[in-house]
């Protein structure tokens, strides 16, 4: 952290808002001033921009650590994202522009999207899904994924989207934790030219999910129905999406939902092996994502907004689906990889669809830097007017590269800090208002309070410390699904009375935030949160493994990479085949995003006398550094042997 701190301290470049941008920006200085006067009144004003079926009685009820926003209010999220746009000029506007990886394209207007959502909602009702029931969505990035989410919202059902890259076992565990009644999937998805057999994975998951009564299958492959290799349909349980929808009417009244009713559960990694079901409710969440979309991305009627996240992550929920559609925006969605078929795919998409606002992750930007400027250079990117970054700290070099080679030096960059738990953007510049500094997420969004504290929990105003949120905010998680104790323990116990985000940060002399990354056992690999414990538990489930310790090491492109130190059971031999087998095992248990980059076999792991694995030393080894304090080790020889082994591998 110290090395990071000192490099950031040298960052002196300043980027004031371009005057032309400021002249027509959605946000102005006044937004901060009105929010400063009264946070609750500010959020109530933002909530009034939505359509409410019944107004709220009270803006906020705060019984720490539980908040209720817009108490007594009733609304429907799908009506806010669709119906209210149908009476005016947005009726025939493109809501979703979709491109599949193989190059197939579809455009759905607001009218089209509303029709499909209503039909899907009717189909879900027919399958017995009612208000409060959970529906799991395990899909590639196709329009039906967004339609499925909005259809759940329309009938007050709770969705749990499970990233299409997760393994059957991850799907099973998430479905079981939420006791989902219905699973919506697709026969397949496309990634880097490969066909991912999603339905086959869903079948493997459903072998162990007693709560699932029905499975709905979107036909993604042309002519895919009847291709048994991709979708074997179980009579009575499985249904083709297109057949169900064909039989439904396009009339479906939105179900009035309480502001505090659940909108979705989204599972995220924590410091233990078991993912946490983050619970988001309706009124506050929609208020925050709609307001942040409007002011942070400055959306105008003619914009084409492309947030490159998958809907399996919170960024896809808040800034592919709910925030932009609540604002009547045109959203681009792209199914596949950035380097398929060539490394210029993103730039060809920007050019072809005239993307104006692009929101992506530092890991992608670093990959683009490595691939070279010739790829964006081949395309006309002059439609772009604003760029965003999210998911991990963006290093100043990547920021400058993004600004220069993608933004043509003219586009402001919004570096947005937030989490699955916060629901929406929390710390960010406002384009047209904030002077940015490369590498800093700048200051809290209006109506949000962030405070830096030291290890004792005392608020500090400069230097390094822990990022905490002392006040409730509308989009905050309400609890962990069916585990309120874990909610209290995880977020509210380290610094009593404050939400602790798990991130270390620094405040500079201008009050700007520099987020340094996770300080707990959660890694950030290519913008995705992975709990080291999750990977360790997957490894020890392998029949050859006795013990495993997983640490993150700095990685040029991914931010962090996973290094696993593994002790084998007696009689097992450390071979390179076994390494491959262990990597495949983790992929099967969790998914490819958790696949370890390095595996080291070791007869012992460095432990304290009380038996705790000293991950700090393993990290020193994995990063090729001199070992830190080793005085508490039970057997110092263990680390020196490991270090030698590591250096041999390097040499």
- Binding footprint of ligand 7RM on the chain (CB under 6 A): 268, 313-315, 390-393, 415-420, 441, 501-503, 515, 517-518, 524, 529
What helix, strand, coil percent values describe the chain, rounded to 5? 35, 25, 40
- Taking the least distance from each CB to ligand 7RM, the nearer of 154 and 518 is 518
**Cis peptide bond prior to 65, omega within 30° of 0:** yes
The CB-of-319 to ligand 7RM minimum distance in angstroms stands at: 9
Angstrom CA distances, 72 to 57, 205, 256, 259, stand at 5, 39, 12, 7
φ/ψ of residue 376, rounded to 5: -65, -30
The CB-of-516 to ligand 7RM minimum distance in angstroms stands at: 8
- Taking the least distance from each CB to ligand 7RM, the nearer of 83 and 177 is 177
- Taking the least distance from each CB to ligand 7RM, the nearer of 140 and 439 is 439
Token pair recorded at residue 331 = 């959203």
Hey, which residues does 218 pair with through a beta bridge?
186
The CB-of-9 to ligand 7RM minimum distance in angstroms stands at: 17
Between helix 198-206 and helix 168-178 the angle, nearest 10°, is 50
Confirm if 527 and 390 have CB atoms less than 8 A apart. Answer: yes
Return all residues near 492 (Cβ < 8 A) that are at least 6 apart. Answer: 64, 65, 498, 499, 500
- Taking the least distance from each CB to ligand 7RM, the nearer of 321 and 599 is 321
**Euclidean distance between CA atoms 290 and 288, whole angstroms:** 5
Helix (H, G, I), strand (E, B) or coil at 385: coil
The CB-of-150 to ligand 7RM minimum distance in angstroms stands at: 21
The CB-of-428 to ligand 7RM minimum distance in angstroms stands at: 8
**Euclidean distance between CA atoms 182 and 152, whole angstroms:** 11
Q: How many CB atoms lie within 10 A of CB 440?
A: 27
DSSP track, 133-186: -EEEEE--SSHHHHHHHHHHHHTT-EEEE--TTB-HHHHHHHHHHHT-SEEEEE
- Taking the least distance from each CB to ligand 7RM, the nearer of 419 and 434 is 419
- Taking the least distance from each CB to ligand 7RM, the nearer of 139 and 515 is 515
- Taking the least distance from each CB to ligand 7RM, the nearer of 426 and 578 is 426
**Cis peptide bond prior to 341, omega within 30° of 0:** yes
The CB-of-309 to ligand 7RM minimum distance in angstroms stands at: 8
The CB-of-553 to ligand 7RM minimum distance in angstroms stands at: 17
The CB-of-225 to ligand 7RM minimum distance in angstroms stands at: 35
For strand 257-258 and strand 134-138, is the pairing parallel, antiparallel, or unpaired? unpaired
- Taking the least distance from each CB to ligand 7RM, the nearer of 182 and 266 is 266
The CB-of-512 to ligand 7RM minimum distance in angstroms stands at: 12
Hey, which residues does 217 pair with through a beta bridge?
185, 240
- Taking the least distance from each CB to ligand 7RM, the nearer of 320 and 621 is 320
Token pair recorded at residue 472 = 């409730």
Distance from CA of residue 66 to its chain's centroid?
A: 23
The CB-of-535 to ligand 7RM minimum distance in angstroms stands at: 16
The alpha helices in 469-575, defined as continuous H runs, are: 484-487, 532-540
- Taking the least distance from each CB to ligand 7RM, the nearer of 123 and 441 is 441
DSSP track, 94-115: EEEEEE-TTS-EEEEEHHHHHH
- Taking the least distance from each CB to ligand 7RM, the nearer of 26 and 292 is 292
The CB-of-274 to ligand 7RM minimum distance in angstroms stands at: 16
- Alpha carbons within 13 angstroms on the beta-carbon side of residue 80 total 28
The CB-of-439 to ligand 7RM minimum distance in angstroms stands at: 9
Return all residues near 645 (Cβ < 8 A) that are at least 6 apart. Answer: 600, 602
Angstrom CA distances, 480 to 124, 227, 267, 415, stand at 26, 40, 9, 27
- Taking the least distance from each CB to ligand 7RM, the nearer of 170 and 416 is 416
- Taking the least distance from each CB to ligand 7RM, the nearer of 453 and 545 is 453
The CB-of-478 to ligand 7RM minimum distance in angstroms stands at: 16
DSSP track, 126-141: HTT--TT-EEEEE--S
């Amino acid at each position: 952290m110290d090395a990071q701190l000192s490099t950031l301290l040298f960052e002196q470049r300043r980027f004031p808002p371009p005057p032309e941008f400021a002249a027509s920006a959605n946000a102005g200085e006044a937004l901060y001033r009105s929010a400063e006067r009264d946070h609750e009144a500010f959020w109530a004003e933002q909530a009034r921009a939505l359509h409410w079926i019944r107004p709220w009685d009270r803006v906020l009820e705060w019984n720490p650590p539980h908040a209720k926003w817009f108490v007594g209010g009733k609304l429907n999220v799908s009506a806010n994202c669709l119906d209210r746009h149908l009476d005016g000029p947005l009726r025939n506007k493109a809501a979703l522009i979709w491109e599949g990886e193989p190059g197939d394209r579809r455009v759905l207007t607001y009218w089209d999207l509303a029709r499909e959502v209503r039909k899907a909602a009717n189909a879900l009702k027919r399958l017995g899904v009612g208000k409060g029931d959970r529906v799991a969505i395990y899909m590639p990035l196709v329009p039906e994924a967004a339609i499925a989410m909005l259809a759940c919202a329309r009938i007050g059902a709770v969705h749990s989207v499970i990233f299409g890259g997760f393994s059957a076992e991850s799907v099973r565990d998430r479905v079981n934790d939420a006791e989902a009644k219905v699973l919506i999937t697709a026969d397949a998805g496309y990634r880097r030219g490969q066909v991912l057999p999603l339905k086959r994975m869903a079948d493997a998951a459903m072998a162990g999910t007693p709560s699932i009564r029905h499975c709905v299958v979107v036909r993604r492959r042309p002519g895919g129905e009847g291709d048994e290799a991709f979708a074997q349909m179980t009579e009575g349980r499985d249904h083709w999406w297109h057949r169900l929808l064909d039989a439904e009417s396009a009339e479906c009244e939105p179900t009035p939902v309480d502001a505090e009713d659940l909108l979705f559960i989204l599972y995220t990694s924590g410091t233990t092996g078991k993912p946490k079901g983050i619970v988001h409710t309706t009124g506050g969440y929609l208020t925050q994502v709609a307001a942040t979309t409007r002011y942070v991305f400055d959306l105008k009627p003619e914009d084409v907004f492309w947030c490159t996240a998958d809907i399996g992550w919170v960024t896809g929920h808040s800034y592919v689906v709910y925030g932009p559609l609540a604002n009547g925006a045109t959203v681009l969605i792209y199914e596949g990889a950035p380097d398929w078929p060539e490394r210029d795919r993103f730039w060809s998409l920007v050019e072809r669809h005239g993307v104006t606002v692009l929101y992506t992750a530092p890991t992608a930007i670093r990959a683009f830097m490595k691939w070279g400027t010739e790829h964006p250079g081949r395309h006309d990117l002059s439609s772009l007017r604003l760029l965003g970054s999210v998911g991990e700290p963006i290093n100043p070099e990547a920021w400058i590269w993004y600004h220069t080679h993608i933004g043509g030096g003219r586009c402001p960059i919004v570096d947005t800090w937030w989490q699955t738990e916060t629901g929406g953007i929390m710390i960010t510049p406002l384009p047209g208002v904030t002077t940015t500094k490369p590498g800093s997420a700048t200051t809290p969004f209006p109506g949000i309070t962030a405070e830096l504290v030291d290890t004792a929990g005392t608020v500090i105003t400069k230097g390094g410390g822990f990022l905490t949120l002392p006040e409730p905010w509308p989009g905050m998680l309400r609890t962990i699904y069916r585990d309120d104790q874990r909610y209290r323990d995880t977020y509210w116990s380290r610094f009593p009375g404050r939400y602790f985000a798990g991130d270390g940060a620094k405040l500079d002399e201008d009050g700007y935030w520099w987020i340094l990354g996770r300080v707990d056992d959660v890694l950030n690999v290519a913008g995705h949160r992975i709990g080291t414990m999750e990977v360790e538990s997957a490894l020890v489930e392998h029949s050859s493994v006795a013990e495993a310790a997983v640490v993150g090491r700095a990685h040029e492109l991914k931010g962090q990479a996973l290094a696993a130190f593994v002790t084998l059971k007696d009689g097992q031999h450390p071979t390179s085949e076994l390494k491959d087998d262990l990597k495949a095992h983790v992929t099967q248990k969790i998914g490819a995003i958790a696949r370890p980059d390095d595996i080291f076999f070791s007869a012992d792991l460095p432990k304290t006398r009380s038996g705790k694995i000293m991950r700090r030393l393993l990290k020193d080894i994995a990063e090729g550094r001199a070992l830190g304090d080793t005085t508490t080790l039970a057997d110092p020889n263990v680390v020196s042997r490991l270090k030698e082994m590591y250096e041999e591998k390097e040499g």
